[in-house]
Each structure stands twice: as structure tokens, then as C-alpha cells.
Structure 1
Amino acid sequence: MKTIAQQIQQNCHISDAQYAGNYTLCIYLLKMREFYRWESQLPFSQKLDNNDIGDWLTQREGLWDEIDEQPLTNLLIDNEKFNCFESDKINKQLEKHKLVYSGGYGLYGKPVFFLGELLHKEAHDDYTLYISGKELARDLAAPPGMAQDKTVYIRRESLRRFIWEKFEESHWHKQENPLSRALACYDFNNQPEYALEKMTDNEVNTVLQHEIGEIQAGKILGDQWEEMLINLPHSQAEIMARAVRDNIADMLSTLPKLLDKNEAAQIHFYFANMSAMRKMIFPGLPDAYKSWLVKGDSKEFKNMFSVASSHWINMAEQMLGIYKQHGDKAHTKIETLINNNYL
């Protein structure tokens, strides 16, 4: 399997070489720091040496300069070639080796790949679920959850790393906020490894519910939504479109499930990770969270779901209408639409 991992990692390097410049400097350095820890297989408890990271960073950017114009390559598995985006076909070959693969697209149309050890596979009527453990190949972007067509991938190792980064981030800001409230539900101070495992176990379900919501949103929005995202790169309109779809997914699936379960830690962590764009266009949702904090009553949340899902579905349909009329020149009109229709 080492050869397969090397092929996939090479595509990861090519994708990173072509898209790493899209990050702000601060985000880029944080992601590279985390990527260095993963690639070097260093434990979370080990303090990173800035000189070592600097040397590695120079080498990695040198590699990217060499390969940034190379095309992505097909994968050779068991003497058969596969397009690197044929995830379903590739997984049929890899499942017998207890591995899982994904090839898709992320923010700004960046190709995102990973190969991991397969922990669990589950078939449902609406989707197939893969949960991966240790990751053998990945790129700079490592989303804990992804939905492609009717397949959901939960990357447990990436989720675990994401939670640890949030724990480290909490040391920089001492004020009370959703993140500090979420972490306070676990004993990170005395039992950090146990707390990390327990929190990861709980958050796997949150990620799953969001990805199920993504599939439900996809059924409503249709294939042209993905085409629109690809044709609105490097614009605020693309970020808005992704935020609108996230709002739909979370009104249909994530938040109703979290409130039914009534696990405060997961509700706090959800709001700790709500993006700036989503807070801007959906100020009513953080307001409902604040009300829940004060009153301990989820009534305001639950009253919001039907109204909010209808609103964001309507916005998404109008965005698609603008895109159908104006094509890749639609971004300004889409931005105006969303800016005039905050909820």
C-alpha cells in the first residue's frame, strides 16, 4: 500500500503547490505547522521546534516550485488505472486492503485528496458512510468531514487534530466564549488524551449530521449548484454560496439533532466553529444561542428551523437563477442579493 499512498501524496503536493497561495499568511502558517506535525508523526504533547519547521517549510515550498505546473496523475491500483476523482471505483479496490480514499473539490475549487485506514463502513438508503482512522496521505486542507454525491467521509484523525488545535487556541484567548465553554465540559487539564478521545467521539456525530444535511441540501439544489461554485472562484460570492448551503444543511440536520440530543458541549463547539461569513449573513443564529445560554430553553432555536431553512433555500434558488442568467459574471449580483437578505 506504500506505493498507492505515494501516488496519492504526489497529487496532494501538486494541489497544494497550485492553491496554497489562496490562504492568508496567518492561516497558511498555522496550516503548515499542523501539516508538519502530521507528516513528522509527532505527538501533540511535543513542542515544535521553530527552526525545524522553518527548514521543512523552505524544502516544501521548493518542492512546490518544481511541480506547480504538473497535472494531477491517474492512480495505478492492482495494475488498473483510475482517474484520481473516481472515488467510488477506487474504494472498491481499496476496501479489501482496509483503506478508504476520497478525491474531490474544496474551497476555491482546490482538489482535495486523502487516503486513510478504514475503521467503519455503513450503508444507508440515502448515503454510504466511511469513517477513517490513521491517514496515510493528505494535503494541506484536511476537512474532518466531506460529502460527495451520496457518500459521506468522516476523517477521525483530522477531526482529532482539529480539536487539539482548538484546545491550543484556547490558551491564546482567556475570555469566556463558546470554545471555552465546550472545552470546559472535558477534563483537558488533568486528562488531555482521554478528554481528546472523548470529545472526538462526540464530535464525529456532529460532523456526520452536517454531512447528511449537505446531502439533503444537494438534493434540493441539484447539480448546477456545484457547477456554480466551480465558476465563482476567488470571490466573496463563492464563500457566501458555501455559507448558504451550510445554513441549509444545519437547519435540516445538524442543529435539530444536536438540540434533540441536548449535549451542551456539542452545541457550544458548534458555535465555536461558526464561520465569520455565516455569522455575518445569519446573525439570528448566534442570537438564538445567546438566548439559549441565558434561558436554558431551546424553544427559540426550534422555532427558527422551519423559517430559516425556507429562507436559505429561497436564497440558494435565487442565486442559481442569477447564475443561469449571468454565468461566471454573476458574482457581484449574488453578493448584493445575500447582503440585502441577512436573517
Structure 2
Amino acid sequence: MSDVNTTRASAPQWRDLRETVQRNCDIADARYAGNDTLCTYLLKMREFYRWERGLPYSMALDRREVGDWVVAREQHWEGLEAQDLDALTLGERRFDPFDHEAVNQHLSPHGLVYGAGYGRGARPLFFLGSLIKLEDYEGYRIYVVGQEMARDLSSPPAMSRGERIFVRRESIRRMVFEMIEAWQMRGAPAVDSLGRALRAYGHDPGNDESLERMVDAEVESAVWHEVGEVLAGRLLGPEWQERMMTVAGSRAERVMRAVRDHLADCLATLPALLDDAPEGALHFYFANLGGMRALLFPQLREAYEGWVKGGTLEELKRLIAPAREHWLTVAERLLREPPETWPVSDEALPSLCPDFSGRRLG
């Protein structure tokens, strides 16, 4: 990737834009933050408080101060839930808040980047940040985002819209830190995937450099996954997103996202990780392989465990091509059949899993 001038434009010049983007983030949070479980919500609020105050991860938080902030934030949201999203104003022009393409044409020369899209449950997502790196490759454009000036509570590490990919370094750093923190609370088991990743990276809990090495590698992994998302989008067409919106917030949406994630990973992420990525990046991938994704593709975990027990990577590599064909077939089935007929119950889910019995892999 080529470096881009990341000097942020002067705050007064962009203050109105930052405030408008943050207001739209707050409106989205007012409408959707309550959809998280209580535990997830409180964890997100704690880290949102840390971001807003500019506090380092190593700094302990005062529970009472955080609690007071949460109450004030919820009161602020109460007055926003019914409000409409605001248009963005740049000079004499006004832009729809989802028109990231046009907005970024104005912002990129100034070392800034704007993101807008939809997350789980059709939740609107927005952010404004500094542009660290930019790459145009085979028809798609990759933005790597640094310090963020405006963001919402959800703040996913990466997303793609059409042929545009956004990877958010702050969010990836936060994800890595939280995973390590939870791992330490579990007693730091060295034999699980995250323990192997930390050992491979030479992680030192008191050394920021080792954390940054992990973050750099995970930025690259996130880029490869989003490249896979773009390639999957080309195969599936706009009908996929339209179908996703019809099942937003349901178990069927979770199945759709897991199927597309596996397709994207077989198209780009796993081939890249199995080619020349650091060993720690592969371990970290499996540390994140959980939930619906793990349920739908048990063979992937089995092949990984075979490797860490002394096998070779060939078993994993041989899965990629047939799995790619399988997930594309499943995705096309989900587009073809009405959602009410999909096998999304616990009992029916195995029918979506790959069956390589009697098939030559690779």
C-alpha cells in the first residue's frame, strides 16, 4: 500500500462536518444500541467512554465516572431517537449521509476519510477519521483509517460497500486489546488459538510494540477479508444485500452473514494467510472463528487442530477450493429460496455444512 499524507486538516475547518457525523452516529446509537445484550452494551459503552476521553487502554477507569457518563449519554440519546439523519455540508454542497463516495472525493486530498453503511440488523454505521493508507487494486479501493474524529458505539473493525473497503485501525486495536484482556481473565491458556497467536507474535503484556505488531498484522488480515467480501459481492450481485435487509435482526441474517464470511475467506483471506502471512495471523484467525461461522464449518477447525498437533498445512489448503464452491452454492440457494424455508434451526443447520465425504479435496 502507498502512504498517504495523514496530517489532519485544522480542527476549525472540519468542526461542522465532525459534529454532523457525530450527531448521525448518536442518532443511530439512540435507535439501535439497545439491541445488544446488557453485557455487550456495557462493554461497548466503557470503551466508547475511553475513546471519547482519549484515555489509554492501560489506564484504569473510575466506575462511578463511567456510570455517570452512561446515564448522561442515554439521556442525550432520548432526545435523538426520533430525529432524522442530517445531510453533510462541504462548502456549498450538501450530501446524503450514505453517499460516502462523493464525500470522500472531497476529503481524500485532505488526508481524511468518511465511512457510511449498514451493519447487523440494518444498523446505520458512520465514522470520520484520518486516512493512513490508500490502495487501488483490480477495480476496488482500500482505505486504512487511523485516528477517528467521529464514530458510533458499534465501530466495526472493517466494512465494504460496493467496490470500497474501509479498515479501521483504532477498532482493530481495540478488538485485539479486548480479546487479550478477556483471555487473561480466563487464566491465559497457552494451548488455545489466542495463546498460540500471542506466543507467535512474542507478545509482552507491558510492551506496546508487541501489541502494535499484532495490530499491523490484523489490519492486513482485515484487508484480505474485505477483499473477499468485494469478490463475493461480485459473484452474488446486489440481490444479496436486498435479501439481507429483508431478514435483518433475525437468525436468518446471522446465517447469511456466516455463509458470506466463509465464501469471502475462501476467496481471499485463507489463501493469503496460508501463503505468506505470519503464523500468528493464522492462529488469530481461528481465535476469532466462533458463533455461527464455527457451527457451519466444523471441518475448518478440525483441519487447523490437526496442523497444530504436528500435521502440515496441506489439509487446510486442500479445503479451500471445494469449500469455496460449497459456500457459493449455499449462498445461491439462499437467494433462490424464500427465507421461511431456510434450514436455520439448530436441528436443520447441519444441512448447510460442507460434506466432503467421498470427494477428493484439492
Where does residue 239 of structure 2 map in the other structure? 224
TM superposition shift of 1:143: 1.4
* CA distance in 2 between partners of 1:333 and 1:258 (Å): 32
- Equivalent in the alignment of 2:218: 203
Partner residue of 1:118? 131
Change in 2 beyond 3 A, CA 1:156/1:331 = farther
Equivalent residues, number: 337
Cα distance change of structure 1 residues 278 and 90 upon mapping to structure 2, 3 Å threshold: same
Gaps spanning 5+ residues in structure 1: where? 324-329
Answering whether residue 334 of structure 2 is matched by residue 319 of structure 1, we say yes
**Cα offset, 1:119, TM superposition:** 1.1
Residue of 194, 197, 200 corresponding to 1:179: 194
CA contact (8 A) 2:343 2:352 kept: no
Structure 1 residue 184: Cα displacement: 2.0
- CA distance in 2 between partners of 1:338 and 1:77 (Å): 48
User: What does the per-residue CA deviation read over 1:112-143, in whole Å, with 9 as the maximum and x for residues that have no partner?
Assistant: 00101011212122211111110000001111
Q: Corresponding residue for 1:163?
A: 176
Answer yes or no: is the 8 Å Cα contact 1:322–1:334 preserved in 2: no
- The alignment's C-alpha RMSD in Å is 1.4
1: CA distance between counterparts of 2:110 and 2:289?
37
Q: Structure 1 residues 224, 334: CA separation in 2 closer, same or farther (over 3 Å shift)?
A: farther
CA distance in 1 between partners of 2:205 and 2:155 (Å) = 28
Q: TM-score, normalised by structure 1?
A: 0.95
Equivalent runs, 1:226-241 vs 2, <5 Å? 226-241=241-256
TM-score when normalising by structure 2: 0.90
Deviation at 1:157, TM superposition (A): 1.4
For residues 240-297 of structure 1, give each alpha carbon's deviation from its aligned partner in whole angstroms, at most 9, with x where no partner exists: 0000000000011101110111522001100111131111111111111101111241
Q: Which amino acid counterpart does residue 259 of structure 1 have in structure 2?
A: L
Contact 1:144 1:158 in 2 (8 A): yes
Residue number in structure 1 paired with 2:86: 73
Task: Please state how far the C-alpha of 1:187 moved relative to its aligned partner.
Answer: 4.1
1:295 matched to 2:310? The reply is yes
Which residue of the other structure, out of 352, 355, 360, is the alignment partner of 1:341? 352
For residues 195-253 of structure 1, the C-alpha deviation after alignment (integer angstroms, 9 at most, x for no partner) is 11111111111001000000110011110000011110121000000000000000111
Query: Aligned partner of 2:180: which letter?
Result: F
Whether the 8 Å contact between 2:157 and 2:168 is mirrored in structure 1 is yes
More helix by share: 1
Q: Secondary structure at the match of 2:139?
A: coil
Structure 1 residue aligned with 2:73, among 50, 53, 60?
60
Matched, 1:25 2:38: yes
Q: Output one character per residue of 1:160-215: Cα deviation in whole Å (capped at 9) or x when no partner.
A: 11111112112111223111111222344365210111111111110010000001
CA 1:200 to 1:71, structure 2 compared with 1: closer, same or farther past 3 Å? Answer: same
Aligned match of 2:323: 308
Q: Which runs of no fewer than 5 residues in structure 2 stay unpaired?
A: 1-13, 355-362
Is the 2:343–2:351 contact (alpha carbons within 8 Å) kept by the matching residues of 1?
no
Equivalent residue of 2:149, what SS? strand
